[in-house]
Structure formats: C-alpha cells, structure tokens
Amino acid sequence: MKKDDTLTLTVEKILGQDRRALARAITLVESQNPAHQKQAFALLDALLPHAHRAIRIGISGAPGVGKSTLIEALGLWLIEQQKRLAILTVDPSSTQSQGSILGDKTRMQKLGADKRAFIRPSPSSGRLGGVATSTREAVLVCEAAGFDVVIIETMGVGQSEIAVASMVDTFILLVQPGSGDELQGVKKGILELVDMIIINKADGDLKKLANLSAAQHARSLKVPVLKASALHNEWIKEIWEAVEKHREVLKKNGALQKKIKQQVEQWFLESITENFLKKLKTDLKTNPELGRFISSIDAKKISVTHAASLAYYHLEKMK
C-alpha cells in the first residue's frame, strides 16, 4: 500500500470513530521518533479541519481533591445526555511511576468500561513543553474522532496547569472546603486563568465548611463558584450548566474565537521555542565556541548573564 493510501485509511478510521486507530494515532503524535513525527505531521494536517469541534474542559486541583471522581460523575452524566467524551490526563509524574495512571483507571472504572468514553493518560515524556504539545495534538485527534466533550485532568503542579489552561475553552479549578485558605496554595498566575471554581467534597462533615467557602469565594472572586459532591453525584448537572453558560457567553461576544486564536498562536510560539531549544542544546555540546563560554562560566571568569549575552551575539554572527 502506498503511503498516501495508509494515511487516508487512518484518517477514515479515526473519523469513523475506530478506537484502536484513535489510540494508535495518539501514540504516533506523542512519539519522539523523527520518522514517526513526519507521519504525525501528515496525519495532523489531514485532521485539522475537525479541530475545535468539541467542548474542551480543563480540570485542575491539588492531588486528592477529587478530580478523577468528579470527571467520572460528570462523564457518566454526559453519557446519559447522549454525549461522547474523551478524557486525557496530564500527569508529569507518570513517566517515572505509572501510579497515577493506574489510579485513574480504577477511579474512573465505570467510565472506562463504557464505549462512549475514551480515557487516555498523556505522558509528558520529559519533553520540553511536551505536556502541552502532545496533549494539544491528542485533543485534535479526539475531536476528529467525533467526541462532543474533551476533558483534560491535570495535577496541581504549576507548569502543566498553565499549559492546560491554554488549550481549553473552560478551565476549572477544584478545591476542598476549607474556610477560604484553600486558594492560598494556588499560584496567583494560575488563579487568573481559572474560569470556574468548584468546591468539592461538599458532603458529610465538610458540608457546612463548603457552604462557607462557597459564599466567601463568591464574594472575593469574579468567576462562578460552585459546590459539588463528586462522590455522591451531587450538583453535577449544575456544573454542566455552568460550563455551557460560560461557553455561551464566550461565543456571544466573539471571545471564544479570540481565545482560540490566541491559544493557537501561543502554541505556535511554544513549538518554535521548543525546536530552538533542542537545537541550542545540541549546539552547546558540539560547538566549541559555545563550549568555551561554559568553561569560562565554570571557571568563574565570566558571569552567566554576560556569557549568555556574548553567546547570543556569537550565534547571530554565525547565521
């Protein structure tokens, strides 16, 4: 079979919602192998007309706050509403230990067993900005496969939050009830990216505290503040309605298109930066001139900033 035919076949299978083709396509776009990357580029270009078809949601929050439990509850509810959904989990630690992946699989057991849902861990595989790049591409593949909703779960560690916020329509922060202190651990920059706050575990002994926190946040924050009990399936419908409302507002004043445009441009910039950095890292090892700067830094003959500035001019001259 010719290369083009294989590509056409793969595209058709993905559009036809073939799960194995979908899983394989995501593996391909995540691959670091240069030969795979070529195929991945061709595939992504072919799938591009289907980008941004799904409602994209990012869910973030500290470990153990209940993200997976909430996604399972919301996911099962969405399935009842005849929606198909894909879940991508971004976990920087998953390359070292498979712990969290296994955890998520067991936590989203019902969803994992349902054909209308697709769960996929998205490893960062040590790539610079890799969390962002391969997840964005995985989202695109899922959109081509006709999922109505794509949810990305990310663990509360700075960099991946910012990356995920920059690829979704609605970015949700999940917190535990805790009389207002729960946002103290959240980095300021991240709070600015949040479209909605959900106070989870609003049940049992924590119910009162959750009400208090909700009232407090509603006063101090500009974004919608909701409560949930993911464990007991409470306020799930309200959460979905809030997501839809947020989207409608974005759509009405053209902000969604603007947001998507900015996200795509940021992605482009990040990708170029990633390529430059890769090249620079090799140059540092192989280019003797650049190597000399490092030796001078090591010998404390020159400050890092000074050496960096000289190295930059050196590279400019070499062009």
Ligand X SMILES: Nc1nc2c(ncn2[C@@H]2O[C@H](COP(=O)(O)OP(=O)(O)OP(=O)(O)O)[C@@H](O)[C@H]2O)c(=O)[nH]1
Residues that bind Mg ion (CB under 5 A): 67-68
Q: Applying CB under 6 A, does 68 fall inside the site for ligand X?
A: yes
Tell me the C-alpha to C-alpha distance, in Å, between residue 54 and each of 84, 141, 156. Answer: 10, 11, 24
CB 73 → ligand X: shortest distance, Å?
8
Which x/- pattern, by CB under 6 A, does the window 95-114 give for ligand X? -----x--x---x-------
Among positions 253-292, residues that touch ligand X (CB under 6 A) are none
Q: Sort 290 into a burial class: Cβ within 10 Å, 0-12 / 13-18 / 19+.
A: middle
Query: Residue 99 contacts by C-beta under 8 Å, 6 or more apart in sequence?
Result: 93
The crossing angle, in degrees rounded to 10, of helices 3-15 and 130-144 is 70
* Rounded-to-integer distance, Cα 151 and Cα 189, Å: 22
CB 229 → Mg ion: shortest distance, Å?
16
Query: Residue 115 contacts by C-beta under 8 Å, 6 or more apart in sequence?
Result: 19
For ligand X, give the closer residue by CB, 61 or 130: 61
- Picked from ligand X, Mg ion, none, the partner binding residue 64 (CB below 5 to 8 A depending on kind) is ligand X
For Mg ion, give the closer residue by CB, 50 or 120: 120
Give first-to-last CA distance, the chain, whole Å: 42
Q: Applying CB under 6 A, does 66 fall inside the site for ligand X?
A: yes
Among positions 220-259, residues that touch ligand X (CB under 6 A) are 229-231
Among positions 127-156, residues that touch ligand X (CB under 6 A) are 155
Number of residues that bind ligand X (CB under 6 A): 19
For Mg ion, give the closer residue by CB, 68 or 229: 68
Q: Shortest Cβ contact with ligand X: which residue? A: 66
Give the range of 9-17, 38-46, 196-204, 274-282 binding ligand X by CB under 6 A. 196-204
Q: Applying CB under 6 A, does 64 fall inside the site for ligand X?
A: yes
Closest CA to 22 of 52, 48, 43, 1: 43
In what side-by-side order are the strands of the sheet with 196-199? Answer: 117-123, 85-91, 149-155, 55-61, 170-175, 196-199, 225-227
- Phi and psi for 217 in degrees, rounded to 5? -65, -40
Contact residues toward ligand X (CB under 6 A) are 61, 63-69, 100, 103, 107, 155, 200-201, 203-204, 229-231
